[in-house]
């Protein structure tokens, strides 16, 4: 969950051993010249979606790495909620966080690039009889939300997986109502695991990792402030590589 996963260390190790998870497209049987060209949307979705689709079921079974920290972040988030709120979650994974928050707000639109993650979300919502969370497959980059319509946008363990987190933060800023909140737990490898930076592209090349960007907490906070956000709450549990931030669009 959003307690500081880079992606999924255990699964990555498993894949390294088994050789599974290679994100190399199977041959379609068509010659390269006759193969239909992918659309921009397909290009955006393909590699990351493949990676996350493959690990979705195992990801769903993984326990939260720091349950106490997770509970604290849930509590802090809920302290900002009220029953009339419209909430968006981007990169919702298997939907755990949105489903927990559902009783505290009017509606949550929860999105993820992976159709397998979304299938798990829908299963869980049905099993828990939760009707005010709408799950939908969408890339963060292509997601359309009218400006100034969201009370809260959440993106947990997502920003470090995006090619352009600055563009995403600007997009979220536009979606938010004045006074709206961007709640994010973000993996910042730049402080304690900077040495991963040269390894990650190689792991990605062989399908053992998704796109992962390396930056520090200081850089993230600075970027948010430059994007117009005010930092309302910031917390980094001891030894965690993730920082939890509630950032406000000035009202």
Ligand X SMILES: C[S@@+](CC[C@H](N)C(=O)[O-])C[C@H]1O[C@@H](n2cnc3c(N)ncnc32)[C@H](O)[C@@H]1O
Region near ligand X per CB under 6 A, out of 1-9, 35-43, 73-81, 120-128: 1-9
Distances (CA, A) of 182 to 7, 42, 150, 171, 225: 21, 27, 10, 11, 12
Question: Which residue has its beta carbon closest to ligand X?
Answer: 93
Region near ligand X per CB under 6 A, out of 80-88, 125-133, 139-147, 175-183: 139-147
Q: Are 48 and 161 in contact (CB under 8 A)?
A: yes
Please tell me whether residue 135 binds ligand X under the rule CB under 6 A.
Answer: no
Closest to ligand X by CB, 159 vs 221, is 159
Q: Quick one: which of 11, 161, 214, 220 contacts ligand X (CB under 6 A)?
A: 161
Please tell me whether residue 52 binds ligand X under the rule CB under 6 A.
Answer: yes
Q: Are 162 and 140 in contact (CB under 8 A)?
A: yes
Please tell me whether residue 157 binds ligand X under the rule CB under 6 A.
Answer: yes
CA-wise closest residue to 196 among 214, 179, 174:
214
Please tell me whether residue 165 binds ligand X under the rule CB under 6 A.
Answer: no
Q: Quick one: which of 102, 112, 188, 217 contacts ligand X (CB under 6 A)?
A: 112
Q: Are 123 and 97 in contact (CB under 8 A)?
A: no
95 Rama class: left (phi>0) / alpha (psi -120 to 50) / beta: left
Distances (CA, A) of 74 to 4, 81, 131, 202, 205: 14, 11, 20, 35, 35
Closest to ligand X by CB, 157 vs 240, is 157
Which residues are at the interface with ligand X (CB under 6 A)?
A: 1-2, 5, 7, 48, 52, 90-93, 112-114, 117, 139-141, 156-158, 161-162
């Amino acid at each position: 969950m959003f307690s500081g996963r880079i992606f999924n260390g255990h699964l990555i190790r498993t894949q390294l051993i088994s050789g599974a998870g290679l994100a190399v497209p199977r041959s379609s049987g068509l010659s390269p010249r006759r193969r239909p060209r992918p659309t921009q949307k397909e290009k955006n979705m393909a590699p990351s979606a493949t990676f996350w689709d493959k690990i979705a079921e195992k990801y769903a079974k993984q326990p939260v790495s720091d349950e106490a920290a997770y509970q604290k972040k849930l509590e802090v988030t809920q302290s900002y909620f009220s029953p009339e709120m419209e909430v968006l979650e981007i990169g919702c994974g298997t939907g755990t966080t949105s489903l927990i928050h559902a009783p505290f707000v009017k509606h949550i639109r929860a999105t993820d690039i992976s159709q397998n993650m979304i299938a798990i979300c829908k299963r869980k919502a049905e099993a828990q009889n939760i009707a005010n969370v709408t799950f939908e497959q969408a890339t963060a980059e292509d997601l359309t939300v009218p400006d100034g319509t969201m009370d809260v946008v959440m993106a947990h363990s997502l920003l470090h997986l995006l090619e352009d987190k600055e563009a995403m933060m600007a997009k979220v800023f536009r979606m938010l109502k004045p006074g709206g909140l961007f709640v994010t737990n973000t993996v910042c490898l730049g402080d304690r695991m900077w040495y991963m930076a040269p390894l990650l592209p190689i792991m990605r090349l062989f399908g053992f990792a998704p796109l992962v960007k390396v930056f520090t907490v200081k850089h993230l906070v600075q970027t948010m402030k430059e994007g117009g956000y005010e930092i309302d709450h910031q917390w980094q549990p001891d030894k965690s590589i993730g920082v939890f931030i509630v950032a406000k669009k000035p009202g």
